[in-house]
Structure 1
Amino acid sequence: MLKKFAIIGFGSTMIGIGINGFILPLHIINGGFFGISLLLKYILGFKVGMTFILLNIPVYMYAYKSDPEYFFNGVMGAICSGIMIELLVPLNGMFHLSVLSSVIIGAVIIGSGVGVMLRNHISPGGMDLLALLIAKWSRMNVGLIMFVMDAVIIITGLFLLQDVKLFYSLVIVAIVGLLASLITTRNIE
């Protein structure tokens, strides 16, 4: 149980650092419910972490009916991730890098946090939890499933915000998906 809390703490902190330090200041988005939460922040001024937690409620209900273990892990992962995003808001604007550097560093940090959590069957919530459930049933790679869902969210963001800079979000999704895929499939002894 202590290992699970350490993994959730590490993954949630990495997600909070990546979003607040590198993604949010550029007004670009990530995929999944993080991306939807960021879109709602840019459009309506919602708090990213709290919106993320609220968006997860339907997925929690679905996961509870299908697989209670994923449900409990998802609840812990999503709540901790949402809280860490809110706690680490002071990182917004702290780093002054080029857009491409911020995108790559932010994506690597987020992807590492998400990948470590998913490798241990702990979801940061949202679509990652849904991707874990789909991967379990279909035997498809969870990183590939996440990439497809995230690409749809980013394309939606492009239409809503009409900001060319959002194309960088595709790089974020690709890196996060690749890292999650590598971390969840690599045999680490």
Structure 2
Amino acid sequence: MKKFVTLLFSSFCIGIGLNLFIIPIHIINGGIFGISLLIKVWGIQVGHTMIMIMIMINIPIYLLSLLYDKSYFFNAILGLAFTSTIIDLLTPLNGLVHLPIITSAIIGGMTIGIGVGFMLRQHISPGGVDLLALLISKSTATNPGIVIFIMDTLIVIAGIIILNDLKLIYSILTISCVGICVILINSFKSINFFIR
């Protein structure tokens, strides 16, 4: 039950953060979501794009998680299924709110960070880069938020180079907010909201 509530809450946070704040301002937030947004020009919905990328690119990450801990593998599959579905279900939110780009970048990053943070706290991930960050953090005793921030920064820099769009510099703000939220949520051993 705890895992289901975490998955539902976290998936809604990620879906709201992406559809309401990040996608409308055309920036990327790193991770598998950022890679998905980079190739959104194919006209495929973001959630389905994530599944395609998982199959084509991130199979080694899933195999690594299977070797490291089978529960991480199954939790990642579950996290991917929930997150992708909720993101697609919440696509009608796209364009409902019109905020300044800096405000959207901050609020979107915080909302996504809360979702990812609570997932990782329960050893669940939406897969891809977040799963890799979880594996690295567990094997090196590093906070997963730090690992996510480093990897997301590299993805955003790649996005700036590939798309040649300086507006993506706002993405640095978004991934900073994601990283900070994930770091805070995973820094304390007992956060007594509705999950431990």
Band the TM-score falls in, shorter-chain normalisation: over 0.9
Aligned to 1:47: 45
Residues 81 and 124 in structure 1, CA contact (< 8 A), matched pair in contact too: yes
Residues 108 and 176 in structure 1, CA contact (< 8 A), matched pair in contact too: yes
**Equivalent residue of 2:39, what SS?**
helix
Residues 63 and 70 in structure 1, CA contact (< 8 A), matched pair in contact too: yes
Q: 2:100 aligns with which of 98, 105, 109?
A: 98
Map residues 70-81 of structure 1 onto 2, 5 A cutoff: 70-81=72-83
**Separation of aligned partners in 1, 2:168 and 2:42:** 17
Q: 2:121 aligns with which of 109, 115, 119?
A: 119
Aligned to 1:64: 66
**Separation of aligned partners in 2, 1:105 and 1:28:** 13
Aligned to 1:172: 174
Aligned to 1:11: 10
Where does structure 1 lack aligned partners over 5 or more consecutive residues?
Answer: none
**Separation of aligned partners in 2, 1:45 and 1:62:** 31
Residue 185 of structure 1 deviates from its aligned partner by: 1.1
Cα-to-partner distance string for 1:44-101 (whole Å, 9 max, x where unaligned): 2232101112222412233112210100111111111111111111010000111011
Residues 56 and 78 in structure 1, CA contact (< 8 A), matched pair in contact too: no
Cα-to-partner distance string for 1:99-158 (whole Å, 9 max, x where unaligned): 011111111111111111111111121111110101111112211111111011000100
Alignment partner of 1:135 is 2:137: yes
What TM-score do you get using the length of structure 2 for normalisation? Answer: 0.92
Amino acid at match of 2:132: L
What TM-score do you get using the length of structure 1 for normalisation? Answer: 0.95
Map residues 19-30 of structure 1 onto 2, 5 A cutoff: 19-30=18-29
Amino acid at match of 1:37: S
Amino acid at match of 2:27: I
Amino acid at match of 1:53: I
Q: How many residues align?
A: 187
Query: Identity percentage over the alignment?
Result: 50
**Equivalent residue of 2:137, what SS?**
helix
**Equivalent residue of 1:17, what SS?**
helix
**Separation of aligned partners in 1, 2:150 and 2:4:** 29
Where does structure 2 lack aligned partners over 5 or more consecutive residues?
Answer: none
Amino acid at match of 1:56: M
Amino acid at match of 2:52: L
**Separation of aligned partners in 2, 1:85 and 1:160:** 25
Aligned to 1:109: 111
**Separation of aligned partners in 2, 1:87 and 1:28:** 20
